[in-house]
Amino acid sequence: MPVPVTGAASPRRLIRDEVFLRLLDAIVDGDLLPGEQLYDAEIERWVGVSRTPVREALNQLAAMGLVEILPQRRTRVTPIESARLRDLIATVGVLVAGVVRDATPLLTDADREALRSGLADDAGSAVSTGLSADGFLGVFVRRLDNGTIARLLKRHLPEVQRALNASSSPARLEKGRPFVKALVDAAVAGKTEKATRAATDLFDKALVAIADDFAAPTKETR
């Protein structure tokens, strides 16, 4: 397991949270690849902690579907399965569309400016960065201020994000950029129905195709 090269754990965070966030970022960003074996001792040396917070973090990631723990056998980053990913993208898409629908009428001038500037800043990666907490989705989630929805997205969205980062087809992500722009433009203009439709199209017409990158090869393609 080639762990990323970073500094020791920050004393400002609880140790278990630090380990969790380090591993989460490494998995989502692709530093730890799908199917890669995870060894407690290596993680302990990487983050500079004892075994207990490492196990706690791995169990938390397992509950999110990002780590697979087989007792007495192995712990690894969960492989990406096409069918599961397709279902997950569809489910997350419904959640995101609902957030956009309910939050758009509540947006403040500061929110609209954040959406505009975020779209400009993320012009090269509007889809992958837009779905992060600091991207366009974060603006809607914070404005809606619904703890249940926020927790559901926090649990399931990272699995979608790591698939976007691991995709071998940049053209699929490029296909999503017009939908992101349409979503932001409509939300800034206060057009709730158009913004919601753009959010739905982003997942149903662009992101769901990412799942095809992880389908098992057929006999014809081997």
* pTM assigned to the model: 0.85
With 60 as the cut, is the pLDDT of residue 84 above it?
Answer: yes
Mean pLDDT along residues 141-155: 95
Per residue in 184-215, pLDDT (tens digit) is 999 999 999 999 999 999 999 999 989 988 88
Residue 211: closest CA among 90, 87, 127, 85: 85
With 70 as the cut, is the pLDDT of residue 10 above it?
Answer: no
Residue 182: closest CA among 194, 200, 190, 173: 194
Q: How confident is the model at residue 222 (pLDDT cuts 50, 70, 90)?
A: very low
CA distances to 9, 99, 185, 186, 188 from 191, in Å: 44, 14, 9, 5, 8
What are the start-end ranges of the E strands in 10-160?
67-70, 74-77
* Interacting residues of 188 by C-beta distance below 8 A, sequence separation 6+: 107, 112, 115, 116
Residue 130: closest CA among 221, 121, 25: 121
Mean pLDDT over each residue of the chain, to the nearest integer: 88
Per residue in 110-127, pLDDT (tens digit) is 999 999 988 776 544 668
Domains of the chain: 15-77 (1.10.10.10), 82-214 (1.20.120.530)
* 141 in Cβ contact with 99 (< 8 Å): yes
pLDDT at 35: 93
Residue carrying the six token digits 């169990």: 59
pLDDT at 104: 98
CA distances to 26, 53, 91, 114 from 14, in Å: 18, 9, 32, 30
Per residue in 16-45, pLDDT (tens digit) is 888 999 999 999 999 999 999 999 999 999
Helix (H, G, I), strand (E, B) or coil at 204: helix
